Structure 1
Amino acid sequence: MMLNKLTVSFIIIYVIESLTIIVQSSFIVAVLGREWVKVKRLSPVDMILTSLGVCRFCLQWISMLCDFFFYFKPNCVYLTLTLTWEFINVLTFWLTSLLAVYYCVKVSSFTHPIFLWLRWRIPRLVPWLLLGSVMITCVTIIPSAIRTYIRVRLITLQQLPRNNTEIEKLHVFEQYLTTPHKLIALSVPFLLFLAAIILLMVSLAQHREQMQHRDTGGGNSRMKAHVTALKSLSIFFIFFSSYFLALLITFLGTIVDRRSWFWLWEDVIYAIVCIHSISLALSSPTLKRVLKVKCW
């Protein structure tokens, strides 16, 4: 396949973005892994971020392989890689939602008994919630495994003397299984993330208003801290939502022509992922401390 100069430029940008995400993920895992070796424990936030870093690292390598296989020569290997990509991507969504829920419970100023109970229990529940995220993802990915089997079967049937009835049935079943399942698999954790972030932002905004009515000596420093927290949450919300919408558009396939604009669209998606990875790293006090030392 002959590539024009513009396509080559988009591919180069894509590779640079992918390597940047891999380096970011490696940095998160290396720093938090060293912290775990040093003190023999990790905070709940760092446990979630370490899991996210490992997922991002694996996801980006698989994404690169999937994209190049898809563009140049889709085959059975591509289908297997796609199934692995879907598993890790759905797990990443659940882990990101878990991080948002943890912050919502620990930082929000709600006094409802459920919030008070969760605030006391959630640090000890995080390892079980991580395991639960993996188990939910395993159950969620079952339709994708069935779909992958169907696609491999279709490739096999197309290479044999044609059985048009069976091929048509498999095509119809695969068509009705694919898009709805992808939308549901990503929408459920995203809605959980959305609810947690909105609750947390409402709580911080209410607390900020209460502090404005109080004229205390330390009010200015606390006000700056809340404004900074709201800005960070806004960035986190914007870029994770953008990533979700970008995947949604890709799965629907109605706006982007996957052949002519494929690499440009991949550049857009992974530019969002780069910034989202930075916002994740800045949410950890340990990582922020290491970054300050390195920069200094």
Structure 2
Amino acid sequence: MADSTEGDTDVQYLGLLVLALIAFIAGLVIYPFIIGVNVTDWWKGRSVTPVDHMVTSLGISRMCNQCANTLYLFIYPLLWRNLNSLVITLIGISYDFLISANMWLTSLFSIVLCLKISNFHTRLFLYLRGMIVHRTVYLIGASVLLSAVNSLISLLLTVPQISSGGTYNTTMANAMSDCADINYVYQVTIGVSFPLLFYCISSVLLFTSLYHHTTKMKMSSNLSINLETYYSVMKFVSITFIYNTVYFICYISCIIYYYIYCVNYDWLYIVLDFLTVLHSSYLIYKTAKLRSQMSKVLQDVADFLFQGKDTEIRENIEVVAL
């Protein structure tokens, strides 16, 4: 029975590695494409909007996040016996930093969209629009710095426990005291809860503004107004809101399960990778510049493949004719 259980565990772990590899390969295609298109425009002196800055920073953050997660799944099981508690803690907090940075940047992206698209005319809203939209690069740096500070605080809360003799044990009896400090759990939860709160506020404001605007336009006598663009933006906001909520739930579930049961649910981290890949693909589809460049790339690939097939068929015909 023990051998059978061990075999099932190996099969499950192999399946997780395969899924992680699929997500990693998809990410290597999508994230560098997003980064490359915007960096190329900047390098050639073309105009780069605050939204382009946000999309590029999200691509960099998500690529680093997925690389770290893939390395963890492939390398950590081979080396964990040779690592001490401090190194394991540093690995975990580094990954938490990347998660937090991704959530802060996603929140900032939603805030920038809200300020650019919403048609509120209050004095505070107009002030924030003028201040934030034109300082996007600095706010991106501030988001990363804030995530780093939160991770540093988590490290400072965890190191005293390790110094006093706490180790990363996997037995249920010591799970509550050895696997994770409750202060660390609180710190990580707070670190991702605040960006989620800001994200929810900005998304609700943006969706409400678009909804009221489309309602007024439909009630007007001008029948030539095209509302498809507004509906498209509302759909994008809704899908992104669902993505961010599910992402937050999966990540918090990973933290809570590890604290209570002292078990890492690696499949949840793979779900996080697939979620970011799917959302980034949707982001390419909804961004005109990225969609246009992707169409060109796919067309070039198709032309290359079909050209190779046509050449091969032509050579075969010539051989038969001879």
TM-score with structure 2 setting the length: 0.77
Alignment of 1:46-195 (within 5 A): 46-74=52-80, 75-76=83-84, 77-147=87-157, 149-150=159-160, 153=163, 171=177, 175-195=181-201
Which segments of 5 or more consecutive residues in structure 1 lack a partner in the other structure?
A: 159-167
In the alignment, the residues of structure 1 paired with residue 30 and residue 50 of structure 2 have an alpha-carbon distance, to the nearest angstrom, of 20
How far does residue 100 in structure 1 lie from its aligned partner after superposition?
0.2
Larger deviation: 143-152 or 177-186?
A: 143-152
Partner of 1:165: none
Alpha-carbon spacing, 1:131–1:5, altered in 2? closer, same or farther (3 Å) = closer
Q: Is the 8 A contact 1:183 1:248 kept in 2?
A: yes
* C-alpha separation in 1, matches of 2:224 and 2:91: 54
Q: Percent identity?
A: 22
For residues 83 and 232 of structure 1, the distance between their equivalents in structure 2, rounded to whole angstroms, comes to: 32
What is the identity, as a one-letter code, of the residue corresponding to 2:194?
V
Partner residue in 1 for 2:292:
289
Residue 286 of structure 1 and its aligned partner are, at CA, apart by 2.4
Q: How does 1:239-258 map to 2 (within 5 A)?
A: 239-253=243-257
Structure 1 residues 153-211: Cα deviation after superposition (integer angstroms, max 9, x where no partner): 467x76xxxxxxxxx9xx48952222111110000011101110011011111111111
What is the CA-CA distance between 1:90 and the residue it aligns to?
1.0
Q: What is the identity, as a one-letter code, of the residue corresponding to 1:201?
A: F
Relative contact order higher in (CA < 8 Å, ≥ 6 apart): 1
CA distance in 2, matches of 1:65, 1:264: 14
Deviation at 1:42, TM superposition (A): 1.9
| Deviation for aligned residue 1:64 | 1.5
Gaps of 5+ in 2: 1-5, 168-173, 300-322
C-alpha deviations, 1:221-256, integer Å up to 9, x for none? 2x1111111111111111111111100111111899
Offset at residue 217 of structure 1 (A): 4.2
The corresponding residue for 1:30 is 36
Answer yes or no: is the 8 Å Cα contact 1:83–1:144 preserved in 2. Answer: yes
Structure 2 contact 58–102 (Cα < 8 Å) conserved: yes
4+ long deviations beyond 4 Å: 69-73, 171-174, 254-259
Equivalent residue, structure 2, for 1:17: 23
1:236 pairs, out of 229, 237, 240, with 240
- Please give the root-mean-square deviation of Cα atoms over the aligned residues, in Å: 3.0
Name the TM-score, length of structure 1 as normaliser. Answer: 0.84
Residue in 2 that maps onto 1:161: none
> Does structure 2 conserve the Cα–Cα contact (< 8 Å) formed by 1:69 and 1:78?
no
Which entry has the higher C-alpha Rg, 1 or 2? 2
> Whole-Å Cα distance in 1 between the matches of residues 286 and 114 of structure 2?
13
- Residue-pair matches, total: 283
Given that 2:207 and 2:234 are in contact with CA atoms closer than 8 Å, whether structure 1 keeps it comes out as yes
What is the identity, as a one-letter code, of the residue corresponding to 1:207? Answer: H
Match of 1:163 in 2: none
State the AA in 2 paired with 1:199. Answer: L
1:7: Cα distance to partner? 3.5
